[in-house]
Amino acid sequence: MKIARLIIFCLFLALAVPALVTFASRPSDPVYQGRRLSEWLTQLDTGRWPRPEIVPADEAIRHMGTNVFPRVEQLIRYRDSALKSKLIKLFHKQSLIRLRITTQMVYHHRAIAACYALGPVAKPLVPKIAEALGRMDPYEQPFPEQWLGSLGPDADAAIPALVGILRDKNNPVRAFAADALLSISTHRWDDVLPVFTECLRDTDQHFRDTARYAFQLARERALVNVGPNGL
C-alpha cells in the first residue's frame, strides 16, 4: 500500500507540473453553447471515424472553426515525459488504486478527431499533422494517416512523411501509410512510384497488391509510362 501511495504521489508530481506549464501557455478556449473547447474535446475519446452521423461535440467544434487550430496544434505536439511514462507503467502494475490518466495518445487522438469534425476547414493543419507523424508511437499513426488519406490530393504535403513511414519495415502498422499514399498521391505519381516499386518486392502480400494497384491507377491516368512488363 505504501508503494502504491508513493507511485501516486510521484505520478501526481509528474502530471501536475507539466499541466501547470501547459495551462499557462495554452491558447484561450473558444466557447460554444456555454461550454469551452476543452470540455467538448473530452467527448471525442470514443467513437468511429469518419462519423456515420454528426454528434454534438463535432457540431460544436465545427461551429468554432479555425479558432480550434491553436489547440489542435498544441495537442498534436504533446509528448509524455520520460518520468511520466515510467510512472504510468509502474502504476499499471498495481491494482489497489485506479486513476484515469490522460496520455499523449489521448491528446493526439483528440486532435485528429477535431480535424475530422472541422471537415475541409482543417486542411491548413495538414503540414502540422504530417510533421507530428514522425514523433508518434507507431500505433498512434493509423488514425492521423486515415484522416490524411480522407483528404485525397489536398493532403499532398504529407507525402514525404508517409513515404518515410512506408519505407520503415520495422513499423508494424505501415500498411496504413501505404493506403493513405494511394489516396493522396494521384497527381504526384513521380514522388511515390519509387517507393511503390520497392513495395513490389515486399514479402507482405498487402504491400505488393497496393503497389500493383498504384501502377494500375498510374497507367489508367496516363501520368507515367510503365511498360507492359513493368510489373
Summarised one tens digit per residue, pLDDT across range 177-192 is 999 999 998 888 888 9
Q: Are 147 and 112 in contact (CB under 8 A)?
A: yes
Which residue type occupies 190? D
156-231 maps to which CATH number? 1.25.10
Q: What is the pLDDT of residue 157?
A: 96
**Shortest CA distance to 165 belongs to which of 180, 184, 187?**
180
Per-residue cell: 18 = 507539466
Question: Which residues touch 138 (CB under 8 Å, ≥6 apart)?
Answer: 171, 172, 173, 174
Query: What pLDDT was estimated at residue 141?
Result: 97
- What is the C-alpha separation between 21 and 13, in angstroms, rounded? 12
- The answer to whether residue 228 scores a pLDDT higher than 80 is no
Tell me where in the chain the CATH 1.25.10 domain(s) lie.
156-231
Give the pLDDT score at 23: 43
Give the pLDDT confidence score for residue 172 in this predicted structure: 95
